[in-house]
A and B are shown apart, each in its own frame.
Chain A
Amino acid sequence: MSIAAINEQLLRSIGVGVAIARRSDLRMIFHNQAFSEWFGEAGGEAALSDVLPDLDLAAVSQAVDEAGRYTGEISIKPKRRILVIALSISSATVEDERLFIVECQNITRIRELESMIDSYSTMVERNTRELEREKERVERLLLNLMPRSVYEEFKTFGVVTPQLYKDVSVVMLDFVDFTKFAAESDPTITLGELNDIFTAFDRISEQYGCERIKTIGDAYLAVAGMPEPSHDHARAVANCAVRFIRYLERRNQSHPHKWLARIGLGTGAAVGSVVGIQKYVYDVFGPAVNMAARLQVFAEPMTVVAPDDMKEALVEEFHLDDLGRHDIRGIGEMRLMRVGAGIELARKSRQF
């Protein structure tokens, strides 16, 4: 077999469709099997324009002249299935006859796979977005149960190590006669009001550098100096305390139910940790917390009571009244003082 014959045999049998047409009259002088399978058996010397009616011949000529090659795609539908064929047309000159050489490849499968990948990635992306939203929701929920820094530790290590904070301050607030009010009123109203008030307290706490730990019924507990240590934790809780009182005073002026609260401040050590394995709650324990709880009971309605130890930290900013020495259950005898708004805050209160 001659080289030319082998070449022709090769051209006939490969999976790439090949056709050669004269440029002058577009008559095809050769096409292989793959070509005729896609575009039909072209009898005699059929014209390229008849076999590929969708082909823009002007564009082909221009591209071939300018770039040496035309590339494009055409869709055909021999049976039910649409085939996508990639065309590549170049030119050649043989014995002064200018020719178009048409190569065709079936890229249907590639297109189908591309569609499938598109479809699948859309699905996966949507799922990812949903998971992301879900994660944010869970994070928001957990942030209600524990301070952010504790949450970060929990997220990274899966556990929260109990931490002792030597120097923190605590503010504990409790409402006077809440049980009576709750018994006499519609529970939804009680809870609605409590919700309003605690929401306002949360804002005040945040603004003055305290962290709300929990509410137990009508009691509200916030701390300063943990989990982020801070040197002015005493001032932070005192600032919150006097503003809680002021908020209630203002609120009582325009609401039928007059909420009266007692506030105790405590200072000293406390331990903070997540308690529970399934039902996490971040909680604080320790002398500072006990002290605030005891002193709160001791406070007259709408006043704030603090240990004398906090005097140094508060004396400049607040109005302090000595309450003398008292025996506090579980703590022993200690000197107490009442904390009120300082001159500056009192003056502002009168303005608004």
Chain B
Amino acid sequence: MAKTLFEKYGGFKSVSRIVMSFYEKVLDSDQIGDYFEDIDMSRLIDHQTKFISTIMGGPASYTDDRLQKMHEHLKLSHADFDEMAALLRETLTEYGMDRADVDHIIREVEARRGPILSAGRP
């Protein structure tokens, strides 16, 4: 079986660093930071740890259904989604991931655009 990116980049050790810097970028973003204004810190981190693990092929699985339920009340726009993807790309690149792997992860995220924006604005 091919190694997952999760294994390739050292498992939780790297996920934790990626989550930490992604977390800061997201909070600092003027585009999407406000969505996290009142969210409980531990919930946000829980969400991001699971999400990053999932897209790297780690031991979590976020179903599209759950992603949809968690995001529908936020009514996110495509611009929000693009910002999130851009910040994630930035984080992963800073972390020193290969270009091809970053592209792969972003494609994984892109594949979830539908469920995440389900109730959003066009």
- Partner-B contacts on A (CB < 8 A): 79-82, 111-113, 115-120, 123-124, 127
Is the Cβ of A119 less than 8 Å from the Cβ of B41?
no
Is the Cβ of B27 less than 8 Å from the Cβ of A112?
no
B60 CB-CB contact with A under 8 Å: yes
Given contacts A80-B36, A112-B23, A116-B19, 4 further A-B contacts (CB under 8 A): A80-B34, A81-B41, A115-B42, A123-B58
Contact of B46 among A81, A118, A124 (CB under 8 A): A118
B49 cross-chain contacts in A, Cβ below 8 A: 116, 119-120, 123
B77 CB-CB contact with A under 8 Å: no
* Interchain nearest-CB distance for B57 vs A (Å): 13
B42 cross-chain contacts in A, Cβ below 8 A: 111, 115, 118-119
Chain B interface residue count, Cβ-Cβ cutoff 8 angstroms: 23
Closest to A82 in B: B41
**B interface SS class:** helix
Among residues 22 to 66 in chain B, which have CB atoms less than 8 Å away from a CB atom of chain A? 23-24, 27-28, 33-34, 36-37, 41-42, 45-46, 49-50, 53, 58-60
- Partner-A contacts on B (CB < 8 A): 12, 15-16, 19-20, 23-24, 27-28, 33-34, 36-37, 41-42, 45-46, 49-50, 53, 58-60
Is the Cβ of B20 less than 8 Å from the Cβ of A112?
yes
Is the Cβ of B46 less than 8 Å from the Cβ of A119?
yes
Interface hub of A79, A81, A116, A118 (most chain B Cβ within 10 A) = A116
Is the Cβ of B16 less than 8 Å from the Cβ of A80?
no
Contact of B41 among A79, A112, A117, A124 (CB under 8 A): A112
State in angstroms the CA–CA spacing of A116 and B42 once bound together.
7
State in angstroms the CA–CA spacing of A115 and B39 once bound together.
14
A119 cross-chain contacts in B, Cβ below 8 A: 42, 45-46, 49-50
B27 cross-chain contacts in A, Cβ below 8 A: 79-81
State in angstroms the CA–CA spacing of A79 and B24 once bound together.
12
